[in-house]
Structure 1
Amino acid sequence: MQNDALLNLDPVFSSFEEAIIVLDKTRRIIYLNAKAEQWFGNNPSTLNSHSISKWTNAITKQVALFNLVDHSLKSTNSKPIGEILLELHDSKDWMLVEAKEAPFDWQDKTYILLTMQEVKKKYLAEEVQRAVYEISDAAVSTADLDALFKRVHEIISSLMPANNLYIAIYDANSEYITFPYYVDERDYLQPDERKIKARDRKAKRGLTEYLLHLGQPALLTDQKISDLTKQGEIRMIGSLPLEWLGIPLKTLQGKVIGVLVIQTYIQGIQYTEQDRDLLEFVSTQIAMAIDRKLMEEKRQQELELFAAGPVVVFKLLVENQDSRIMEYVSPNIEQFGYQPEQFLSGELSFLEIVHPEDKNLVINLSSSHSSDSANFLSEEYRILTANGEIRWVYDLTYIHKVKGNELVEFIFYIYDITHHKETENALQLINETLENRVLERTSQLKETQDFLQLVIDTIPAPVFILDRDLVYQGCNHAYEELNGITQKELIGKTIPEIWHSDLAKQFAEENMEILTTGISKSYESQNPTVDGNYRNLVYIKAPYYRESSAEPAGLVGVAMDITDRKRNEKLQSTIYQISEAANATNDLDELFTFIHQVVNELIPARNLYIAIYDAETDSVSFPYFVDEFSESPEPRVAGTGITEYVIKSGEPLLLTYENEEEVTTQNEIAPTGADSSQWLGVPLQIETGKTIGVLVVQTYDEREISYTESDKELLTFVSNQIALAIERKQAQEALHKLNQELEQKVAKRTQQLNEQLAELTQRERELSSVVSMAQALRETHQLDEIYEAVLESTRVAIGASGVSIAILDQEADELVYIPGIGNFQTHKDLRLKPDAGAAGWVVRNKKVYL
């Protein structure tokens, strides 16, 4: 809204983020900038007669409340911002602003400039920061968890309406939920019920469990809760709230330790997404505070449990290696007949209860013992109880140099090992008796074992031994060479420690079958070898027994290498498939695709192409080309490319990064296509030795695929059969093409002869009809017979289905139709004017009408 007198000020005020309102001396609104117009509604021009009452006498900026309905201002009277924000929580009519009034003169008139800026978000952020600080302080200042929960409730209530609030703690190990703090207007639980039984339950489907499983804040209305209940997502426990806002309590590490929930049963209190975000913001600090208190209580419980245990603790402070102060003695010193006060008062010193003969074993409190600031030392010695009984103890001493050697803490952890010592002495006597027998037996076993090892090492086939737990007990030299592992490295290892997961699972299942059934069996497997290749093996496995047991004690396995046999079988199968493919495939494209599949079964062949050489035209074509990075080349005159080199040399070539420069330079080979890491090409030669093309495989990542000389030999071996198959298929296609051309020529010539025969037949029929008609005309002078002869001869001559004759009667100027034959028999005695019909057109124009 603009006043003409203030029109020049609008470019300045319209860019302000604050709402600018200009009042005349009667406080009537005469100008609003763009921001103010937003606050005053869509039609601010109706406010010309509206006034804003005097609300303050101050000329400085003040916090105030602006009414969005009647557009009035109200001072907050220095009320705390937190209380104001709480009052505004569910109000849509009031806005918290910082406002300032100032008079100014313009064109000989005095006006009042009122500026306002919304500050709710600003002060809310400050309140949230205050809450975070207070929660952090509560974690330190509160005495226990109950006090912390109450303080957290007070802090949240200062940010938003929170008359009903509860905190649930979740134990992930037991999956139990406890409700240590529960304040609610509708539901009330006694403290003993809350902590012991009533609200402790395994995770089911309440709203609390729903929130824990959801793992993120949830803002639900009563309708949404009812919908979730009907859908079976939750089971409502307790009274149904109108609004329910729950936040998972997560630490900075993402650990969920529980939930915090506020809810209301009162109409008019509504929680918003801003409340949800605010509560989520402070929830981490709340979670950390609760987690800290839980840890403190847990540590206190551990200390109490430790004090009640068998380990006695002494804490001694030594100053300047002389002054000694006993700071702590655990209550369980009573197990030795003493009281903590005897040591704390100086009545007894720790060294006084040590057995006189063992005092030299106790740590020397006057020496530094270590250059480190902290160190652990341990020793076993005897002490005397209060009634003079001798007890053996284990002493673990922690030395903490607080200030060099001037101030040192000694913490003694004393554990009674008297029974252990007595048992140890008894065992020592038994061990001394058995030791000689064990040494003698060990010597005998070693001789036997050495002999057995010598025997299996002479076996050329790999041999291994497993016990019943499938732990390797030994192997021979052949097994070591096959798998690249020494017997020393193998013994004591399990199958998964030697073999990868798939093979380990297979071996374990096979071996368990042998041990379970007690029957020898053979198995076939493909194993990786030391050089990175794979070998096909047949394992013959048999159980072995000990004299004292009918159950197998383990198994012995012998490996037979069948790699060469498998390879030969595969090659024979491949050659047969290629040979048959020449007849089984429909065309060369299908044959090339099949060849790619077969080659890929022998060696990796993701990128493969076949080039065909035409000696008559000295050209190379690429009828099959599959490559990750290059397009199929166009046919070309044979040049100096690597493909042409293999064709002309008639020799296979394996090109790698190592030999590429030498080979291409020496043979003047020009680079073509994408640069591959390895290129393997073999010539396709028929029985006469003639090269008809080349088969190429290549790879662009040598880490994934690496071709070897063995691959080159393998591909060369099958290349002749591939060449023969291609030649046979080319011949078949050429013969097929020749037959098609011959059939087309015969069909064309036959069609020509048929057409000539039809034409001659027609001419013969026409001449025959003319002759018949002439003969008939000579034999009769009757007009009807003449008409009949003409009609029949004409029908036969042209093969018509009907013939009619119309005679022009010039006197009557009419066409008179003679009785026709065939389809025109109805034309008898028909008379038409010459200007009607097709016959009339022929008469008038004296032309043939077809």
Structure 2
Amino acid sequence: MTVDFKALYPKLVHLLLDTVFVVDEFGKIVFVSDSCEQLLGYATNEMTDTEILNYIHPDDLDRTLAAASSVMSGRSHTDFENRYLHKDGRVVHILWSARWSEQGRLRIAVARDVTALRQSDKTRSALYRISEAAHSAETLRDLCDGVREVIGELFEESDLHLAFFDAEGGVLSVPDWTAGGSSGWIEKPVESGTAIGDVISAGQALLAAGDAVRQGVEGRDLAQPEGPGWLGVPLISRGTVLGALVIESSASGTRYREADQALLQFVATQLATVVERKRAEERLRFMAHHDALTGLTNRSLFYDRLEMALRSAGRNESRLALLYLDLNDFKKINDTRGHETGDQMLIEMARRLEDCTRETDTVARMGGDEFTVLLTDVHGRASIETAVAKIRELMSLPMNLEGKAFHVSCSIGTALYPEDGVTARELLSKADANMYLSKRRTH
């Protein structure tokens, strides 16, 4: 039997899984095989007689034109890759094999969809970089910055939000990535009826696109016409919801799909393990340098900061002050009212000391009911007296502990650098001695 290859050839072309394009010298599509619908979402009759450039991702337009010019000059391409826009708006990565037919002055090309392959490459790279960030980041906040960069490459036209959940306080801690926010956190309550609230409470992923009561992490209204796409997945480790990973787009018509959800959830699963480990490391680091009861700087870290402050004051010819404090009659209260009341009193004293000092100052618990305060960049004894008066005023307020009001006072000793000493030992000794002088005067 004789086979009519001329008649069979078009049928074979339309059976190919890869898409065949024939484009004239002016960039118009004169033929495209049926698989174009699977590739870009358009039927053959929709693409025929249209400009091929209409479908190219804007960011790849210049280099695609350069490649087309190269093909038209007689150089065949077998591995050119660029991005096209699918009919539904998503990005498709295409690997081309193309040559020029001088006889018809046509570019003949075969297009293969390599989107899944490129996404796989990106995912593998993202997980590797998240692992790198976990090892190099000193804090959880540093890790968030690294993850933001990685997710930004996976979802190029989306904003990333990372939110960590405090179940006890019912609040979310979100990295401050606003202008100038390079190290801080923003805390906000978890509100029911919001998209982020649903992700946290249910511990399940959520695709949101038009529910009037749902809002994104930054309060965007998802019900506005052509509103932003919103996708949130929980960060879960050992059955506990640690927070949520959210991507959000304000681009018109953007809608995330199940494939995006699966990818983000995969990344979130890996990230949750890293976050749990980083939190544990931070807890251990905090416990090593802070008092377990009050959360204040402990004796060891205080000495380090005092030595550092002394070196800085010596270089800059500035002054610093050291205050040594203890609660009057604390042992009596502790013995008669119980250790629980005593502990609560120490915690309250710690909070009050923090409230009446600056962020640049250091408040530490040295042990028992003894505390120290390091004041940097002071201007003489007058400024110390002002600080001491402020502390005494705050400490004179009643402490409401276990339904009972307690009135307490404290003894305070001071030392000024360099007048009262130039070493940590000299300043601590001077402040301690002055504290006991103060205590004797009050008894």
Q: TM-score, length-normalised on structure 2? A: 0.54
Q: Which aligned pairs between 1:466-545 and structure 2 lie closer than 5 A? A: 466-467=23-24, 471-488=28-45, 490-491=47-48, 495-496=52-53, 505-544=62-101
Render the CA deviation track for 1:27-54: whole Å, top value 9, x for unaligned.
xxxxxxxxxxxxxxxxxxxxxxxxxxxx
Question: Please, which of 11, 17, 24 is the counterpart of residue 460 of structure 1?
Answer: 17
Render the CA deviation track for 1:801-834: whole Å, top value 9, x for unaligned.
xxxxxxxxxxxxxxxxxxxxxxxxxxxxxxxxxx
Contact 1:676 1:698 in 2 (8 A): no
Compute the displacement of 1:595 (Å). 2.0
Structure 2 unmatched ranges of 5 or more:
223-228, 292-296, 304-443
SS in 2 for 1:725: helix
Q: Which residue does the alignment assign to 1:691?
A: 241
Render the CA deviation track for 1:56-76: whole Å, top value 9, x for unaligned.
xxxxxxxxxxxxxxxxxxxxx
SS in 2 for 1:477: coil
SS in 1 for 2:81: strand
SS in 2 for 1:521: strand
Q: Which residue does the alignment assign to 1:611?
A: 164
Higher relative contact order (CA 8 A, sep 6+): 2
Compute the displacement of 1:711 (Å). 2.8
The CA distance in 1 between the partners of 2:57 and 2:218, in whole Å, is 39
The CA distance in 2 between the partners of 1:512 and 1:718, in whole Å, is 40
Contact 1:611 1:624 in 2 (8 A): no
SS in 2 for 1:558: strand
Q: Which residue does the alignment assign to 2:146?
A: 594
Structure 1 residues 695 and 467, CA gap change in structure 2 (3 angstroms): closer
Question: Please, which of 199, 222, 226 is the counterpart of residue 646 of structure 1?
Answer: 199
The CA distance in 2 between the partners of 1:554 and 1:716, in whole Å, is 45
Compute the displacement of 1:461 (Å). 0.8
Q: Which residue does the alignment assign to 2:116?
A: 564
Taking only aligned residues, the RMSD between alpha carbons, in angstroms, comes to 3.8
- Return the letter of the residue paired with 1:728: R
SS in 2 for 1:573: helix
Q: Which aligned pairs between 1:95-494 and structure 2 lie closer than 5 A? A: 450-467=7-24, 471-488=28-45, 490-491=47-48
Structure 1 residues 559 and 597, CA gap change in structure 2 (3 angstroms): same
Structure 1 residues 503 and 581, CA gap change in structure 2 (3 angstroms): closer
Aligned residues between the structures: 283
- Return the letter of the residue paired with 2:199: V
SS in 1 for 2:35: helix
The CA distance in 1 between the partners of 2:40 and 2:201, in whole Å, is 43
SS in 1 for 2:256: coil
Contact 1:607 1:626 in 2 (8 A): no
The CA distance in 2 between the partners of 1:557 and 1:462, in whole Å, is 8
The CA distance in 2 between the partners of 1:578 and 1:501, in whole Å, is 29
Render the CA deviation track for 1:396-423: whole Å, top value 9, x for unaligned.
xxxxxxxxxxxxxxxxxxxxxxxxxxxx
Structure 1 residues 641 and 455, CA gap change in structure 2 (3 angstroms): closer
Render the CA deviation track for 1:570-612: whole Å, top value 9, x for unaligned.
1111112112212211222222222222222222443624122
Contact 1:607 1:698 in 2 (8 A): yes
Q: Which residue does the alignment assign to 1:133?
A: none
Contact 1:541 1:555 in 2 (8 A): yes
Contact 1:609 1:626 in 2 (8 A): no
1:680 matched to 2:225? The reply is no
The CA distance in 2 between the partners of 1:694 and 1:491, in whole Å, is 45
Structure 1 residues 745 and 698, CA gap change in structure 2 (3 angstroms): same
Structure 1 unmatched ranges of 5 or more:
1-446, 547-551, 665-669, 750-850
Q: Which residue does the alignment assign to 1:823?
A: none
The CA distance in 2 between the partners of 1:480 and 1:695, in whole Å, is 33
The CA distance in 2 between the partners of 1:746 and 1:506, in whole Å, is 60
Render the CA deviation track for 1:337-368: whole Å, top value 9, x for unaligned.
xxxxxxxxxxxxxxxxxxxxxxxxxxxxxxxx
SS in 1 for 2:21: strand
The CA distance in 1 between the partners of 2:263 and 2:146, in whole Å, is 18
Render the CA deviation track for 1:264-302: whole Å, top value 9, x for unaligned.
xxxxxxxxxxxxxxxxxxxxxxxxxxxxxxxxxxxxxxx
Q: Which residue does the alignment assign to 2:127?
A: 575
- Return the letter of the residue paired with 1:460: L
The CA distance in 2 between the partners of 1:593 and 1:501, in whole Å, is 28
Contact 1:589 1:623 in 2 (8 A): no
- Return the letter of the residue paired with 1:680: L
SS in 2 for 1:586: coil
Structure 1 residues 504 and 601, CA gap change in structure 2 (3 angstroms): closer
Compute the displacement of 1:695 (Å). 2.5
The CA distance in 1 between the partners of 2:301 and 2:175, in whole Å, is 35
1:714 matched to 2:267? The reply is no
- Return the letter of the residue paired with 2:245: L
Q: Which residue does the alignment assign to 1:167?
A: none
- Return the letter of the residue paired with 1:655: A
Query: Which has the higher Rg, Structure 1 or Structure 2?
Result: 1
Render the CA deviation track for 1:186-216: whole Å, top value 9, x for unaligned.
xxxxxxxxxxxxxxxxxxxxxxxxxxxxxxx
Contact 1:495 1:507 in 2 (8 A): no
Q: TM-score, length-normalised on structure 1? A: 0.30
